[in-house]
Amino acid sequence: MKIFFYCLREFDELAYCRRFSRETGIGFDYSTGYPGPDSYALAEGCEGVSVIPCDMSAPVLRRFRDLGVRYLLCRSIGYDHVDLAEAARLGMRVANVSYPPSGVAGYAVMLMLMACRNITRLLRQADMQDFTLKGKIGLDIAACTVGVIGTGQIGASVIRALSGFGCHILACDPRRNPAVEGLAEYAGLDRLLAESDIVTLHTNATAENHHLLNARTLAGMKKGAIVINTARGKLIDTQALIAALECGQVGYAALDVLENEEGLYYYDRRGDVIANREMAILRSFPNVILSPHTAFYTQSAVEHMVRYCFDNAAGFASGAGSDHEVRCPGS
């Protein structure tokens, strides 16, 4: 059995691939580039293909299936880039990965603290040797109400971390997590938005929560509140967020993910004219932090992402299956 890895990073993932290939007896080959018409054929003879978020629409899946690929092994928690219905129709099995939630959780809390202390304005003005205090006063997170949307593993880890600061925590999730019941108060979305000084997103991107933060819900937030997103860019209507920042309805935004980030994040675009006006506008604001989808990026996370690709493939091949298998709803 063999897996073909696309977008493999030789500087961090390759050593783990070699290690887990030896441990599982599963072979691998790789390309540093994204899958495309010029590189689909590289996967011929491989039962599995491993990808990071990229185009896995129906035509791409059909092309891989024609090459004999049976397993699509995502090196990510998210799988909204995969046409699951088409994968099910083709008989292709899909799996995602998991990794310790503490990395993303810690990054989210870091962004909260940076936003609370106006770090963008403070550092920009310090670079110009403006060391005055006017306009730089911050918030004490201990005095804030923080709204956590999504209380899965990452959201729960964020809540545990925040509990140490002594802030009031509201949580919103259709499925309550008993692990956070004593640390956070569950509330409906409208109440959470209206009462929270900081709102942080920790839920998957689905059709139901596409643009969860939009013109209507942003207008229902506490005026001047902080928005944190380390989950998925599609959760926020970016144009509505820009409008809310411009009028002061949102006081600060710290975003590790962004709508339409494909083709930007993880690429070297130095010297390019980037056709993403929303990103350009956000980068111009002194009350915005944009980081390039790196909240996940720790040594432990990379190790787990590669390990689960091999483990998922082994489980599928043996018939034992995988706890990380992703199925199309209703299939």
At 296, which amino acid appears? F
Q: Under a CB-based contact definition with an 8 Å cutoff, are residues 281 and 242 in contact?
A: yes
Average pLDDT of the chain? 96
Residue 70 has pLDDT above 90, yes or no: yes
Residue 67 has pLDDT above 70, yes or no: yes
DSSP symbol at 35: P
Please tell me whether the overall predicted TM-score, pTM, comes out greater than 0.85 for this model.
Answer: yes
> Among residues 92, 97, 229, 224, which one has the least CA distance to residue 150?
229
> Among residues 10, 136, 118, 81, which one has the least CA distance to residue 257?
81
pLDDT tens digits, one per residue of 231-280: 999 999 999 999 999 999 999 999 999 999 988 888 889 999 999 999 99
Q: What's the per-residue H, E or C state across 219-263?
A: HCCCCCEEEEECCCHHHECHHHHHHHHHHCCEEEEEECCCCCCCC
Residues labelled catalytic: 232, 261, 293
Q: Would you place residue 19 in the very low, low, confident or very high pLDDT band (cuts 50, 70, 90)?
A: very high
What domains are defined for the chain?
2-99+298-326 (3.40.50.720), 102-290 (3.40.50.720)
Q: Provide, rounded to the nearest whole percent, the portion of the chain with pLDDT above 90.
A: 92
Give the mean model confidence (pLDDT) for residues 161-184.
96
Residue 156 has pLDDT above 90, yes or no: yes
**What sign does the dihedral 247-249-252-254 (CA atoms) show?**
negative
pLDDT tens digits, one per residue of 286-330: 999 999 999 999 999 999 999 999 999 999 999 999 999 999 886
What's the confidence (pLDDT) of residue 266? 85
- From CA 161, how far away is CA 171, in angstroms rounded? 14
